[in-house]
Structure 1
C-alpha cells in the first residue's frame, strides 16, 4: 500500500524517509497497580515522546496495548542522529517518573530503521525483541542494535528432561520435585550464553502450558482455569527480570498445587466423614465394617486402611468410642437402667458392655453414674 493511500485511510502524515518502531515497556511487576496510575503514566509517556520527538518527525504515532506502547517514527535521514539523542532524552525524562510511580519500571526497545513502509514489520520485530532483552540486560535502558538468536535445538533438548520430571511431580503431587525441576531447567537455560530474553519468556510460557496439560491428564482440575491463565499471561509480561519471571512461575504453581492437594484431601476424607455420620446415626444397631464400607462405596479392606489413616483409630475402636460417649450421656442425664443403656448403644451383652465401658472410661458404668449424679 502506498504512503498516500495509508495517509488517506488512517489520517497519518507519513512522507518518504525513515520509518522506525520504538517499543515502550512499562513493567508493573506482579503487584496490583491502580488502573488510574497506569493510565496517567501512559498519558505522560505519550506527552514526553511528543514533546521531544514530534518536531523532528514528519509524523509520530503512539499506541498502547496493556503495558506496552508502540511508537512509529517517520523522519528524514538527516535527522537520524538527533532522533537517537531525543529518544535518550525521552527515556531519561520517563525514568524521572519512577519517583512518582514507585512500583513501575520503564525500558525502550529500539527497532531497525527502514525506508520502505512495507518493511515496517522488521522494525517492529526488532523493537519488541530488544524490549524482551531487558530481562537479561536490565530495565531502565534504551536497548538497540540487537541480533535475533536461534537456540531452538538447545531448548528442545532441555525441555525433554523437564517434561519427564514435571510429569512425575504432578502425578505424585510433589511440590519440591516440581520446583527442583524448574530450577534445573532455568540453570540449563541460562547456561547457554547465547540465550535471548524472548526465548526465556517463550520457554516460561511453554512450561505453563505443560503444567496445565499435565494437571488435566492426571484427572485434576485448576480452579477458575480461564482466570488462572489470564492472570498468568498478564503478570508474566510485567516481570522485568529472569529471577522475577521464574519466582512468579514457581509461586503460581505452588499456590495451584496447594489448592489441588487440599481438594484431593477433602475428596479422600469425604467417605470417612460420611462413614462417621453413618455411625453416629446407627451406633445403636449391629453395624459392621462391611456394612459401612459398602455404604460409602469402598471394599472393606481399603476402607479399613483409609479409616485408620484418617481417624487415627480403626473402625471398631471408633464405633466403640462413639457408643461409650453416648452411654456416658445416658448415665449422666437419664435414669435409664444400665441394661437399657447397654441395649440403646448397640450392645447385646451387658457383661461385654461393662468391660468395654471400663476400658474406655476407667470405671464401671454404675460407678460413673454415681460420680456424676
Structure 2
C-alpha cells in the first residue's frame, strides 16, 4: 500500500520504541515511520525536520514531556495528529491531551491491534479529507471557469504581460488557463488613471483614491448591459465592458461624470489628476488584448500631452526606428558621461538626455520610462562600485513606482535627479569616515616608492576604492591628481639630491623614478623653469 501518513515515535524507553518499530506492519496500513526520538527536545527537532502527519508520544520524557511536545508541535503544524501512550492510568493526562487535540490515548503495554486500528482510522480520515479537497479543488476550478471570474483572470493576465508583447503570445498564455472565448458579443476597454503627484504620494492615500474611484466606476457602469470586469494596477484602473454595440459618446459622457465625481474628492487629497481612455469595441479576444495594450501605452503618453482628459484611444505609432535611435543617443550620452561625483554632473547629464527626448519623434511615454530606468540603473551600478552596501534595487524600484505618479516629462526627470542625487550623497556620506586614512596612506606610499613605477589602479585597489573614485577623493583632499602629486614628490626629491655633489643628473633622475633623463629634464624644467644642471649651479655657486 502507498504510504499515506508519515509518523514519528517519541518515548524515553528504547525497548518500547524498538517494539513499536517492529510491532506494526507500517507498509500494510499505509504509514511510513520517519524517525524515533528518546526525549522531548530531540522529538521536537525531528518534527521540525521531517514534518510528520502523526506523532506517537509518551507522556513522561526528559527535556520536554509529551504534552509540552504536543503543544509546541501543534504551533508548528495545527493539523498534526497526536496519539498519547503512557503507563500512567491518570485521566487528567487524557483530559489535557484532548485540549491539545490528541486523537487517541493508549496505555502501556501497547496492544498491537489497538494501535493498528487507531492508525488505520487516521489513514482512512486522511484519504477522505484528500478526496474532499479534490472535490473542493474541482469546484473552485469550475468557479474560476465561470465567465465573470475568467474575464477578471483574463484581464489580470494581460496586464501582467509587457505592453509591447504581441497579442498572439499573450493569448497563448491565457489559453493555458482556459480555452474559452472571452469576447462573445463584443467588448471594449476603459482605462482610468486617478492620481496624486509623487511628491504628495503615500501608499495609503493613493489606495484610498483608487478605492473611491472604483466605487464610483461600479456605480456609474453598473447599469451597462453585459458584464463589468475591473482590475487595478500601477498603470491605472482597467475596465472591460462586454455588451451589444453602444454609443461611444455616451460612454465618454459617463467617464466625464466619473471624472467630476473623482475630482470632487479634493478635500481628501492635496491635488488630484484624472486621465481616461476609451478603446474601440472589438469582436475577438486577440483584438481586445491589442486594445488593452494600446491603451496602456497611450496612458503613458499623458506625460507628453496633458492630464485631466477623457479621450478616445489613438493608436500609438510603432516608432521602432525612432526608439532605436533614442536608445543609441542615450547610450552615446552615457559613454561620454564625465566620471564625476558631483550632483551638478548628474543634472547636466539628465538635462542632455531630456533635450534628446524632447526632440525625438514618434516615441511613447513607455519608451521614455524604459530609457530613464536605463539611466537610473547605469548610475546606480556605478555608485554600487563605490559602495557595495547601496540598496541599488530598492532605489530603482522606488523610481519605477514613483514614475507612474509623474504628471509631466519635466517632473519625471526631476524625480530621477532626486533619486540619483540622494543615492550619491548616501554613498559619499557612507564613505566619508573612510576617506582620510586612505589618502594619508597613499601619500606615504608615494613618498616611500617614488623611485619605482607606481601602478595607480593597484594603489587605489589597495585602499579599497575604485581608481575613478580614489582619484576624485585624492584631488579633493590634496588639490592635485595622483599623477600630479607623484610628479611633485619626485621633483621635490630631485631638488634635494641635485645639491649633493657626489651624484650626477642621470643618477638623480633614476633615483626619483625617471629612466629617461631627457624626459626627467623636460619635467624638471616645466616645474621649476630651469634645467637640473642650471638648478644645481644656482645652489652650488652660493
Distance 2:351 2:194 in 1: 27
Match of 1:236 among 372, 395, 403: 403
Deviation at 1:60, TM superposition (A): 0.8
Instruction: Determine which structure has more spread, i.e. the larger CA radius of gyration.
Output: 2
2:63 counterpart residue number: none
1:170–1:215 Cα contact (<8 Å) kept? no
Is 1:251 paired with 2:418? Answer: yes
Q: How does 1:292-307 map to 2 (within 5 A)?
A: none
Deviation at 1:185, TM superposition (A): 1.9
What is the CA deviation profile of residues 304-336 of structure 1, one whole-angstrom value per residue up to 9, with x for unaligned ones?
A: x9699469xxxxxxxxxxxxxxxxxxxxxxxxx
Distance 1:150 1:118 in 2: 18
Deviation at 1:20, TM superposition (A): 1.2
Is 1:24 paired with 2:192? Answer: yes
The 1:115–1:253 alpha-carbon spacing in structure 2 relative to 1, beyond 3 Å, is same
What is the CA deviation profile of residues 105-155 of structure 1, one whole-angstrom value per residue up to 9, with x for unaligned ones?
A: 221132332122343211211221221121122111113231222334334
Is 1:68 paired with 2:236? Answer: yes
1:27–1:67 Cα contact (<8 Å) kept? no
The 1:160–1:11 alpha-carbon spacing in structure 2 relative to 1, beyond 3 Å, is closer
1:95 counterpart residue number: 263
Match of 2:353 among 185, 203, 211: 185
Deviation at 1:199, TM superposition (A): 2.2
2:436 counterpart residue number: 269
1:149–1:194 Cα contact (<8 Å) kept? yes
Distance 2:323 2:244 in 1: 42
1:104 counterpart residue number: 272
Distance 1:67 1:199 in 2: 15
2:13 counterpart residue number: none
Deviation at 1:190, TM superposition (A): 1.1
2:371 counterpart residue number: 203
2:123 counterpart residue number: none
1:10 counterpart residue number: 150
Is 1:116 paired with 2:256? Answer: no
Aligned to 1:250, what secondary structure does the other structure show?
helix
Aligned to 1:31, what secondary structure does the other structure show?
helix
The 1:166–1:174 alpha-carbon spacing in structure 2 relative to 1, beyond 3 Å, is farther
1:26–1:67 Cα contact (<8 Å) kept? no
Distance 1:37 1:24 in 2: 17
Deviation at 1:164, TM superposition (A): 4.3
1:63–1:71 Cα contact (<8 Å) kept? yes
The 1:111–1:201 alpha-carbon spacing in structure 2 relative to 1, beyond 3 Å, is farther
Is 1:150 paired with 2:303? Answer: no
The unaligned stretches of length 5 or more in structure 1 are 276-288, 291-296, 312-373
1:19–1:113 Cα contact (<8 Å) kept? yes
Distance 1:47 1:122 in 2: 27
What is the CA deviation profile of residues 235-255 of structure 1, one whole-angstrom value per residue up to 9, with x for unaligned ones?
A: 111112111101111121112
1:98–1:105 Cα contact (<8 Å) kept? no
Deviation at 1:55, TM superposition (A): 0.6
- Of structures 1 and 2, the one scoring higher in RCO (CA 8 A, sep 6+) is 1
Distance 1:307 1:246 in 2: 30
Distance 1:155 1:267 in 2: 43
Deviation at 1:160, TM superposition (A): 3.6
Deviation at 1:34, TM superposition (A): 4.3
Distance 2:237 2:148 in 1: 24
1:24–1:69 Cα contact (<8 Å) kept? yes
Q: Which has the higher helix share?
A: 1
Aligned to 1:82, what secondary structure does the other structure show?
helix
Alignment TM-score, normalising by the size of structure 2: 0.46
Q: How does 1:345-356 map to 2 (within 5 A)?
A: none
2:183–2:285 Cα contact (<8 Å) kept? no
The unaligned stretches of length 5 or more in structure 2 are 1-143, 153-181, 449-461, 464-469, 480-542
What is the CA deviation profile of residues 158-190 of structure 1, one whole-angstrom value per residue up to 9, with x for unaligned ones?
A: 444443443454633243333222212211211
1:151–1:195 Cα contact (<8 Å) kept? yes
Distance 2:149 2:239 in 1: 19
Alignment TM-score, normalising by the size of structure 1: 0.65
- Alignment RMSD (CA, Å): 3.8
The 1:152–1:176 alpha-carbon spacing in structure 2 relative to 1, beyond 3 Å, is farther
1:22–1:108 Cα contact (<8 Å) kept? yes
1:360 counterpart residue number: none
The 1:307–1:103 alpha-carbon spacing in structure 2 relative to 1, beyond 3 Å, is closer
